[in-house]
Structure 1
Amino acid sequence: MVLSRFWLTIFISSIVFVVISLFTGNSYTIDFILNGKKDDPILLSEKYINQVPVFIKDSIKNAPDQTMIINRDTINADTTYVYKNKTVKIFSGVQKSDGLLPTCKSTLLDLIIPLIAYLAFFCGLMELLIISGATEKLARVLSPVFVKVFPSIPKNHPSISYMTLNFAANFLGLDSAATPFGLKAMESLQEINPDKDKASDAQIMFMCLHASGLTLIATSIIGYRAAANATNPADVMLPCIITSFIGTIAAFLIVGIKQKINFKSASLVIGLMTLIAAIVGLLMYVNHLDLIGKNYFTSNLSALILVGIIAFTLILSFIKEKKFTEANTTVYETFVSGANNGVKTGVTIFPYVLGMLVAISLFRNSGLFEIISEWIAYGFSNLGVSKEITDALPVALLRPFSSAGSRGFLIDSMNTFGADSLTGRLSSIFQCSAESTFYVIAVYFGSVNIKNSRYALSTMLLVDLICVITAILVASWFF
């Protein structure tokens, strides 16, 4: 219900703002909101050739392509005059994201089709793990901890192993594997959900822990920073881990208090201490490496683990081939069957993702998002927050809505202020310390047709806010 109302609010408010802007003269056209593409110039006005200043008129006529660009620099938007069909069109600035119709197209071609491919492959592997008995053994080992965190889940339930694989994939930056494992976990949790239209306690806990974004190897962030010529691309690793870990603990405590979980359980404390010890151990190892060693380690660890999971699954399936025979199937047929289920899941979540991304596109292109972000930045500046921090806030504000959009702000902030500036580093921490909340909710709850997400959205947004505050404190401390 909350998600539905929020979706309607941003959709309707964006449309109202667009219409008001058009009729008050603040916008010349709204066609770009429907048909424009990201980074296209925005049409501000159109005049007859005699209505423009003389020096512009002469420059346009003398130009080979009858186009004139003024104020060309790396920071401010260019103003472009294009003479065509007896009129001069004046463009300035660029579009922040694709328009409504291009977003529909790119959601299918650039997002859903690749996602379906990932789902097909990893769901095929998951089916092999299920038949071979690996998931059952993993669930049995981890049950003592998971039944404390998820009291409503029966002991040794298959969802435990799926959630473990999802957390592990996120932890190691394996995004392509994390989503299929997570969707499989949601499907498994839905089987024991007494009210199929309403998110269960276990599903909410899983979603909030997943969305808190605990990551050890921020491979993509390091890549962006390297491309922006950062002196040490991996210097944000420790702040990213600290921020995302605090976000994860916050999510666990907030949801745990709501669900009245027993935090004094011995197995829960042992599990948490083991996780902390593992993180500290890896941090100590990475910290003693030189720059080349850190880059080599972060570039290869995640890839090696993913290859290891694939190899382990296939080898185990070969060893346990008798179990496949007993199930009246073969290893290959089992993989195909699992991949088939992955394709069906991808088709199911498409409308949910499409609806959310189109609303976000409209929200950004309407200009409403920029106005809100400017108000927030102004409020922070009045509280004495430095400009270096407020310049990074657009990444934090857009991150819950769109990973691609916030990534664009991240790259822009590093190009504008420098990858080694506080703004560039803080933007990097914002980008890697949380998930795209609205996208995640649309995908995960949509995959099992959950209509009422209860308090999941509000909790996830609260955790996002905690991550933002933590990132600012950690970045200010480190840099």
Structure 2
Amino acid sequence: MVLNYIWIAFFLIGFGVALARLLLNGDMAIFTQVLTGIFDMAKTGFDISLGLVGVMSLWLGIMKIGEHAGVIQIFARLMAPFFAKVFPEVPKGHPAGGSMVMNFSANMLGLDNAATPLGLKAMKELQELNPQKDTASNAMIMFLVLNTAGITLIPTSVIAIRQALAVDQGLVGFNAADIFLPTLIGTFISFMAGLVAVAVYQRINLFSAPVVAFFGGFVALMAGLFGWLHQYPPEVMAKYIGLLGSLVILSIIVLFIAVGAWRRINVYESFVEGAKEGFGVAIGIIPYLVAILVAISVFRSTGCMDYVVGGIAWVVGALGLPTDFVPALPVGLMKTLSGSGARGLMVDVMKTYGVDSFEGKLAAIIQGSTETTFYVLAVYFGSVKIAKTRYALTCGLIADVVGVIGAICVGYWFFK
């Protein structure tokens, strides 16, 4: 229901602003610009969905092998103590636990394309446990909020973009991975905010041994990983980060296939069975994805986003606070709406101010610390035809806002 109101508001506010620009400023091209943006985004939504077919078929096929081989159940058992506290409605040993673990793992490695099909599979399995098929269950809400606020261990794509821009700008010895630890801390802040917000709604006790152990282990892992990578030169560090992400994912694929072969299951037929599911899921999300992207396009192309950012800058300046973070702020605002839009804004900030500037670094940290809340809610809920999302959007936005604020604070801490 909340998404319905927001979707309507994007169109009505955007149209009102466009009309004002025509009547007050004589902007004769504004409505053509808006209409072109709508058509382009509709095509983009369709193209993205079709592009997901291959990736979803691949990963759901691999997941089916892991499920038949029993590997997914092993992953789920390892995380069972933590998941039992955070997802009390999910029965012990249910396949949804394994899918959620794999989804979180892919998100931690910054592999969005791998995380999406795994997340959609988890939603389908959670829907099987849902007594009200049109209403989001507590487990679904917790999963989606933690997904949108997911911890990013390695911001692979952000580092790759920074490295490419540094070459274009003639920077020698540039450390594209210098935002690694700040981004990791930023995502941890966002993750904790989302977890606490949902836990308050669902009255979940987070001061239990499994939850404390999970986060304590993560902090130790974070410190150890940084200590290991920090000893290498920038270019070597970047290579190790890229290698780590690729190696872990490929190792998982080979592990699933090897265990399946060892247990004498028909690995090929299992893969095909899962891949067929991926095709259906990808096609089913087209209407939901197109709907949210065209609304975002109207809000963005009419300049509403610029007005929001300008207003924030004025308020921050009036309070006597520094405003040098404001140029990077649109990345955080856009990231809740569109991942590709936020990526474009991040590149624009880096090109305008320099990839090694404070604004450029902050834009990269925000890009790696936040998630596309509206996109995730629209696609994931749409894939299982959930109409009543309850408080999912509220908690997701809390995680995003806290994540952006945390990213800005971390950026000042490391680079100012």
TM-score (norm 2): 0.95
Q: Which runs of 4+ in 1 moved over 4 A?
A: none
More strand, by proportion: 1
> d(CA) in 2 for partners of 1:173 and 1:260?
30
Query: Is the contact between residue 153 and residue 202 of structure 1 (CA under 8 Å) also seen in structure 2?
Result: yes
Question: Post-superposition shift, 1:443?
Answer: 0.9
Corresponding residue for residue 76 of structure 2:
139
Shift of 1:403: 1.3
Are 1:150 and 2:87 counterparts?
Answer: yes
Residue 109 of structure 2: aligned partner: 172
Does 2:38 correspond to 1:100?
yes
Q: Deviation of residue 106 (structure 1)?
A: 2.2
Match of 1:112 in 2: 49
Q: In 2, distance between residues paired with 1:317 and 1:199?
A: 34
Report the equivalent of 1:376: 312
- 1:193 is aligned to 2:130: yes
Contact residue 34 and residue 101 of structure 1 kept, 8 A: yes
Q: Which residue of 1 aligns with 2:223?
A: 280
Identity of aligned residues (%): 39
2:397 counterpart of 1:454: no
- How far 1:141 sits from its partner (Å)? 2.9
Larger relative contact order (Cα-Cα within 8 Å, sequence gap ≥ 6): 2
**Residue 298 (structure 2) aligns with:** 362
Return the offset for 1:25.
Answer: 4.3
* Offset at residue 100 of structure 1 (A): 0.9
> Following TM superposition, by how much is the alpha carbon of 1:142 offset from its aligned partner in structure 2, in angstroms?
2.2
Larger Rg, first or second structure (1 or 2)? 1
Give the drift of 1:19: 2.8
| Residue equivalent to 1:161 | 98
DSSP 3-state at the match of 1:404 = helix
Partners of 2:287 and 2:140 in 1: CA distance: 21
CA distance in 1, matches of 2:186, 2:243: 23
Which one of 334, 350, 354 corresponds to residue 286 of structure 2? 350
Deviation at 1:346, TM superposition (A): 0.7
Gaps of 5+ in 2: none
The one-letter code matched in structure 1 to 2:163 is: A
Moved more, 237-246 or 251-260: 251-260
- Please show how residues 33-432 of structure 1 align to structure 2 within 5 Å: 33-35=34-36, 99-109=37-47, 111-229=48-166, 231-321=174-264, 324=265, 330-432=266-368
| Alpha-carbon offset, residue 400 of structure 1 | 0.6
Rounded to whole Å, the distance in 1 between the matches of 2:352 and 2:210 is: 49
Q: Which moved more, 1:148-157 or 1:26-35?
A: 26-35
**Range with greater deviation from structure 2 (460-469 or 20-29):** 20-29
How far the C-alpha of 1:263 sits from its partner, in A, is 2.0
**8 Å contact kept, 1:174–1:306:** no
* Alignment: residue pair count: 408
Q: 1:438, CA displacement in angstroms? A: 0.6
Give the partner amino acid of 2:213: I
Tell whether the 8 Å contact from 2:197 to 2:398 is kept in structure 1 after alignment: no
Contact 1:199 1:450 in 2 (8 A): yes
Residue of structure 2 aligned with 1:464, choices 367, 392, 400: 400
User: Which whole-Å CA distance do the structure 2 matches of 1:224 and 1:26 have between them?
Assistant: 38
Letter in 2 for 1:191: E
1:228 alignment partner, SS class: helix
Aligned CA-pair RMSD? 1.4
* CA positional deviation for 1:386: 2.4
Q: What's the CA shift for 1:23?
A: 3.5
Q: Deviations over 1:189-230 (max 9, x none)?
A: 111111111111111111111111311111111112112216
Where 1:462 maps in the other structure, the secondary structure is helix
Give the deviation of 1:241 after TM superposition.
0.4
Aligned counterparts of 2:83 and 2:126: Cα–Cα separation in 1: 13
Superposition deviation, residue 118 in structure 1: 0.7
- Residues in 2 aligned to 1:256 and 1:213: alpha-carbon distance in whole angstroms: 16
CA distance in 1, matches of 2:382, 2:8: 17
- Inter-partner Cα distance in structure 2 for 1:437 and 1:475: 22
Aligned partner letter, 1:253? V
Aligned to 1:5: 5
Task: Please state whether the residue corresponding to 1:454 is helix, strand or coil.
Answer: coil
CA deviation vs aligned residue, 1:157-211 (integer Å, no higher than 9, x gap): 1111111101111101121111111111111111111111111111111111111
Stretch deviating more after TM superposition (377-386 or 333-342): 377-386
Q: Distance in 2 between matches of 1:224 and 1:331?
A: 37
In the alignment, residue 91 of structure 2 is paired with which amino acid? P
CA distance in 2: counterparts of 1:271 and 1:299, whole angstroms? 25
Query: What is the distance in 1 between the residues matched to 2:198 and 2:72?
Result: 26
